[in-house]
Amino acid sequence: MPRAFDLCIIGSGSGNTIVDERFRGMRTAIVDSGRFGGTCLNVGCIPTKMYVYPADVARAAQRADRLGLSFDPPRVDWPGLRDRIFGRVDAISSDGERGRRADPDVTVFTGEARFTGPRRLRVGEETITAERIVIAAGSRPVVPDLPGLSDVAFHTSDTVMRLDRLPASMLILGGGYVAAEFAHVFSALGAEVTVVNRSARLLGHTDLEVSQRFTALLGERLDVRLSSRIERIQRIEPVDRDRDTATCGVLASIGGESPGRVEAEVVLVATGRVPNGDRFDLAAAGVDVDDDGFVVVDRQQRTTADGVFALGDVCSARMLKHVANHEARVVQHNLLHPTAMIESDHRYVPQAVFSDPQVASVGLTEQQARDRGTACVVGRADYGDTAYGWAMEDERHFVKVLADPDSGLLLGAHLIGPQASNLVQPLVQGMSFGIAALDLARGQYWPHPAMSEVVENALLDLPFGR
């Protein structure tokens, strides 16, 4: 006998934020096959940044000699660090699940959901039908088919944060967000890190100059192999035999532009993520996916099947938590107000990489503007040319803004340096509210001598500011 619901949400990450007091009386099912709370809480944004912060502190101490200070190398209590992080994260996940299970309107199903027909699902032995369904099933790491990889105990971002010990050495495959953030974390905490990336620069999705600068800076302190590939990877005896075997040793043969052999205690595969849409027979539900596997949605987050919505990584090529949150708010509104639906706004989505240095951006890159034939002018400022940048003895970091030469409106912004993830916000604001670059610079005060003066200076470097 199927169990009938008014609403079924597949995925307890951003999907779980939809149900609030306005859904009282609506019989709701929440289905998840993994840890309650999804990627961001359990294996994504939150625990990574809880590692990034101590890594930032360690790096600041390592670099302090240019300020006339010196510290001993940090002694890292890895089990303490890890248990502090997951002590908090795991408790939030368990409390969240407990709270949902105590809600008389909500039934939580633990298991893999699969569609068996339109608005009809199977979870384990149970069949669920629902008037409306939200697919919020996220994404998962891609593991490339590399010779020998399946024979070694490799890690992905799902597992590497729970290692039993801080490894002495780590081989990271990939050069995107995950690789950049974990390369910073593990190297700052004391591991010897080698990064092997298929393409010629790290953070290839970012503005060319930013990506080149980031690649150069990381290459100064880590072994970075670009335009390279793993030819073979094999297990070797761990350097320290007392160490547990979850962190087995590997020997990797690397081909391409930086060939050689690298030994490491731990391998981290960080070569991208794919949406989970292939995991639950979407065709049976009449839900289309595109060529890259993303669930097809319109601007109201409706899929091609009646009454079925989707949000987050499963349908959005920008796999970012603030995008999933935005889409969850749109779906929430549209479930509550089916005759007055609203649309998602993906025009100015910022992105930030929490590495060392930080990188942040919004809007078009200079190359994208050129490729699209969009006229643009560029303004730049170095951190080192501001008072705060002097205080930091900064010589390497900058802010770059692009604007339309006619309207003076911002087209994009690209930052590399301390607090880039925060400094990008006034530029997102200027773009979102249609404020011309010069008005943004001159129409408000910027506190002196704050780091934000580097943003003001970049805006004033545009031709309208001179």
Ligand X SMILES: Cc1cc2nc3c(=O)[nH]c(=O)nc-3n(C[C@H](O)[C@H](O)[C@H](O)COP(=O)(O)OP(=O)(O)OC[C@H]3O[C@@H](n4cnc5c(N)ncnc54)[C@H](O)[C@@H]3O)c2cc1C
Q: How many CB atoms lie within 10 A of CB 235?
A: 14
Q: Is 182 in the site for ligand NAD (CB under 6 A)?
A: no
Q: How many CB atoms lie within 10 A of CB 320?
A: 18
Residue carrying structure tokens 């959901």: 113
What H or E segment, with its residue span, contains residue 130?
Answer: strand 126-135
Q: Is 179 in the site for ligand NAD (CB under 6 A)?
A: yes
For ligand NAD, the closer of residues 47 and 176 by Cβ is 176
Q: Is 355 in the site for ligand X (CB under 6 A)?
A: no
Among 37, 138, 167, 175, binds ligand NAD (CB under 6 A): 175
Residue 272: contacted member of ligand X, ligand NAD, none (CB under 5 to 8 Å, by partner type): ligand NAD
- Identify whether the C-beta of residue 168 lies closer than 8 Å to the C-beta of residue 44: no
Stretch that binds ligand NAD, among 58-66, 85-93, 168-176, 284-292 (CB under 6 A): 168-176
Q: Is 136 in the site for ligand X (CB under 6 A)?
A: yes
Nearest to 169 by CA among 196, 150, 194, 149: 194
Q: How far is the CB of 217 from ligand X (least distance, A)?
A: 20
Distance CA 367, CA 373 (A): 10
Q: How far is the CB of 130 from ligand NAD (least distance, A)?
A: 29
Residue 172: phi, psi to the nearest 5?
-110, 125
337 is catalytic: no
Nearest to 167 by CA among 238, 220, 224, 219: 238
Stretch that binds ligand X, among 21-29, 36-44, 84-92, 376-384 (CB under 6 A): 36-44
Contact code string over 305-344 relative to ligand X, x by CB under 6 A: -------xxx----xxxx-x--------------------
Q: Is 89 in the site for ligand X (CB under 6 A)?
A: no
Among 23, 30, 138, 206, binds ligand X (CB under 6 A): 138
Residue 173: contacted member of ligand NAD, ligand X, none (CB under 5 to 8 Å, by partner type): ligand NAD
Closest residue to ligand NAD, judged by C-beta, is: 176
Among 214, 309, 354, 383, binds ligand NAD (CB under 6 A): 354
Going edge to edge, which strands form the sheet with 192-196? 223-225, 192-196, 169-173, 266-269
3-state helix, strand, coil split of the chain in percent (to 5) is 35, 25, 40
Distance CA 84, CA 345 (A): 37
Among 118, 272, 286, 293, binds ligand NAD (CB under 6 A): 272
Distance CA 159, CA 43 (A): 8
Residue 126: phi, psi to the nearest 5?
-95, 145
Among 2, 111, 124, 144, binds ligand NAD (CB under 6 A): 144
Total residues found in the chain within this entry: 466
Contact code string over 211-230 relative to ligand NAD, x by CB under 6 A: ------------------x-
Q: Is 178 in the site for ligand X (CB under 6 A)?
A: yes
Pairing of strands 113-117, 249-256: unpaired
Among 198, 221, 235, 279, binds ligand NAD (CB under 6 A): 198
Among 119, 132, 155, 273, binds ligand NAD (CB under 6 A): 273
Q: How far is the CB of 134 from ligand X (least distance, A)?
A: 10
Q: Is 176 in the site for ligand NAD (CB under 6 A)?
A: yes
Q: Is 279 in the site for ligand X (CB under 6 A)?
A: yes
Q: How far is the CB of 185 from ligand NAD (least distance, A)?
A: 12
Residue 38: contacted member of ligand NAD, ligand X, none (CB under 5 to 8 Å, by partner type): ligand X
Helices 45-62 & 78-102, crossing angle to 10 degrees? 160
In this structure, what token pair is assigned to residue 426? 């006034």
Phi-psi region of 97 (alpha: psi -120 to 50; beta: other; left: phi over 0): alpha
Distance CA 132, CA 288 (A): 17
Q: How far is the CB of 321 from ligand NAD (least distance, A)?
A: 7
Residue 175: contacted member of ligand X, ligand NAD, none (CB under 5 to 8 Å, by partner type): ligand NAD
HSE-CB for 213 with a 13 A CA cutoff: 20
Handedness of CA 437, 442, 447, 451 (dihedral sign): positive
Q: For 283-366, where are the E strands, in sequence order?
A: 308-310, 351-353, 359-363
Distance CA 180, CA 398 (A): 18
Q: Which residues are annotated as catalytic? A: 448
- Judged by the rule CB under 6 A, the positions of this chain that interact with ligand NAD are 144, 173-179, 181, 196-199, 204, 229, 270-273, 319-320, 351-354
- Judged by the rule CB under 6 A, the positions of this chain that interact with ligand X are 10-15, 31-34, 38-40, 44-45, 48, 112-113, 136-138, 157, 178, 276, 279-280, 312-314, 319-322, 324, 354
